[in-house]
Amino acid sequence: MYTKKLYTRVGAAALALSLLACKKNENSGKWPVIPVLNANSATPSMIRALPEGGNLLMYPLISSEDVLTESPSFVYGAQPDGAAFFRNPEGKGYIMLNNHEITQSVSRVYLDEDLKPTKGEYIVDAEGGRWRLCSATMATPAEHGFGPLFLTAGESGEESMVHGITANASVNDRKVKDRVLPALGKASMENAVPLPKQAFPGKTIVIVGEDQSPSTSHQSAGQISMYLSNSVGDLESGKFYQLARVNRDPVETNMVRGNAYDVEFVEIPNAKNMTGKQINEATAAANAIRFARVEDVDYRKGSASNNREIYFVATGVSSNRIDPVPGFTMWGRLYKLVLDAANPLKGKLEVVMDGSVNPGKDVVNPDNVCATENFVYVQEDSDSYYVNNTHDAYIWQFDCRSNNYKAVITMEHRRDDNAFNSKYNPSNDRRLGTWEFGAMLDISDIVNLPNTFMINIHPHTWTNDKFRNPDGSGLISNREGGQTIIVRGLPR
């Protein structure tokens, strides 16, 4: 019933947008035109709006079962995560890059003027990717002062590194391994995020999140790292730092919501030439803050002062899915880090969302973040299967101005729809949180449609032998499908 009503709304909205687009096209004759959005994928939307999300429109863009006209053998791989979306510099239409986490690969999909995918290929395969590739950030000359360069971080142990992939990378280079940036550190990383050029003019600053659980072999746990160069676009000769409290208290849970804490970035000398193990040991010795898995990072959009406001999540850890590990968040947190305008190595740190306040009903295992001018969208990965969790994965909308937040989107599992469930959940896994959100991007300005976002989905229970080996490397045998959806109506 809900699905039928949703698609009726989508169809009506698409018709209205179609008429508007035609009028704009006739009057302007210029590119880019306003796209006419449709459900271009054969796969129905795997997400839906929650009541507080309002009347959102969902347009399935692409999934693993879709056949593209110009590349019928291309398979859109499992676990689409970190992404980039930009206008095709060689003609009309758009290009979308996506990490595929479990297959260690990066796909490039070409879309026409109305965002219909037409062609797909892989510019990084599992051999070239080397590690799991999670979140990512596209550095551009307009925003960051250098690029275009797709920064995608490896997340397969403490010796992983950040890749720098050019937007026009050749498919012939998909196996190349030496596109890494060792000056940005070695760690099990989730994302490497360059700050905009206006935040600290004349400098290159990259904030890196380390997705590492605490252990006896990795005492520093998860980290917020900074790479800093006094030359724009220099990703080789800068210095590497880790975030610490001024009082050198490294315990995450000694910080609570409602307080602001003085922090600074402590240099790890010669990090470029160190192993990940050595960086970890130096970080622990420096008493940097030990977070429970820093999964993703983003900066607030808009003014220079906004750009110095950084948001990141600690996903959380538990040894038995019931109890926290002492000193670390279990349910997960969203942090706000405000860098000093005169010195990027100093700042204030706050906890602004904390799942332990209302366990299982509040935020659960936040994974990805998407910051706009006024909001931060926090995407959950609740497949830790905590015993007291009460909901499937949510997207939360955090208001940067009021610090209030609410859940606006959730997964549309349709477990009681036998046909849907037998196809997209053939193992009939009934646990909450089996599907997770990947990255989310604000593409409003790129496509000339306000309040328009791209959201990646990991429907882990959707498996099919046809989805094996999508990048052609033959190295990964995962059978999962993936989906990407365009959502309209979320405020920025």
Given a cut of 60, is residue 25 above it in pLDDT?
no
pLDDT of residue 33: 84
Q: What's the rounded mean pLDDT across residues 345-356?
A: 98
CA distance 430 to 409: 19
pLDDT of residue 19: 32
Number of alpha carbons in the 13 Å side-chain half-sphere of residue 464:
18
Hey, is 304 helix, strand or coil? Answer: helix
CA distance 56 to 61: 15
Nearest Cα residue to 164 out of 78, 236, 90, 241: 236
Q: What's the rounded mean pLDDT across residues 84-102?
A: 96
Do you find a cis peptide bond into 117, omega within 30 degrees of 0?
no
317-333 pLDDT, tens digit per residue, is 999 999 999 999 999 99
Q: How far is CA 5 from the centre of its chain?
A: 30
Given a cut of 90, is residue 250 above it in pLDDT?
yes
CA distance 16 to 488: 14
Given a cut of 70, is residue 21 above it in pLDDT?
no
Q: What's the rounded mean pLDDT across residues 232-255?
A: 98
pLDDT of residue 5: 30
Per the DSSP assignment, residues forming a β-bridge with 264 are: 244, 346
Given a cut of 80, is residue 24 above it in pLDDT?
no
Nearest Cα residue to 90 out of 28, 35, 168, 174: 168
Dump the DSSP string for 45-109: PSEEE-GGG-S-EEEEEEETT--BTTBTT----SSEEEEEEEE-TTSSSEEEEEEETTTTEEEEE
CA distance 140 to 355: 34
Residue 471 burial (10 A CB sphere; 0-12, 13-18, 19+)? buried
Residues 6+ apart with CB under 8 A from 177: 127, 128, 130
Question: Do 101 and 132 meet the contact criterion of CB atoms below 8 Å apart?
Answer: yes
Of the pLDDT bands very low, low, confident and very high (cuts 50, 70, 90), residue 386 is: very high
pLDDT of residue 217: 85
pLDDT of residue 91: 85
172-190 pLDDT, tens digit per residue, is 999 999 999 999 999 999 9
Of the pLDDT bands very low, low, confident and very high (cuts 50, 70, 90), residue 30 is: low
207-230 pLDDT, tens digit per residue, is 999 999 999 889 899 999 999 999
Given a cut of 50, is residue 120 above it in pLDDT?
yes
